[in-house]
Amino acid sequence: MSQKVPLGEQASATRVNLSGGALLPKNVFWQTVGQAMIGTTAHFEGIMLCQTAIVLGTGASVNGRLLAQTAVTLDQNVVTEPAP
């Protein structure tokens, strides 16, 4: 399934959780054209593909992968590889 979702910035202290048939983060891809920002203490699930940079705010967590053409910037974050 492919759907455009505005994902330039995820607000601080929010969660992106998977539900329904999308329970495995390894099967959910998010694609951004510009820079993507995951806010302070926010939680994100899935695989993010970004044309430029991905920046995680302090204490943000990810269950998935972060793939960018230029940089992935971390600041005291937890990134967990999705289960096989």
Q: Is residue 80 part of a domain?
A: yes
Q: Is residue 22 part of a domain?
A: no
Report strand pairing: 61-68 vs 43-50. parallel
Instruction: Provide the number of structural domains found in the chain.
Output: 1
For the ranges 3-12, 24-33, 60-69, the lowest mean pLDDT is seen at: 3-12
Distant-in-sequence, close-in-space partners of 11: CB < 8 Å, separation ≥ 6: 39, 42
Q: Is residue 67 part of a domain?
A: yes
Per-residue CA distances from 76 to 8, 9, 41 (Å):
21, 18, 10
Measure the CA–CA gap between 43 and 23, rounded to whole angstroms. 15
pLDDT for the residue numbered 7: 54
pTM of the predicted structure, to 2 decimals:
0.80
In terms of Cα–Cα distance, which of 65, 5, 14 is closest to 38?
Answer: 14
Residues of the domain holding 65: 30-84
Q: Is residue 24 part of a domain?
A: no
Q: Is residue 44 part of a domain?
A: yes
**In this predicted model, which residue has the larger pLDDT, 47 or 22?**
47
| pLDDT tens-digit readout, 12-30 | 777 777 777 667 888 888 8
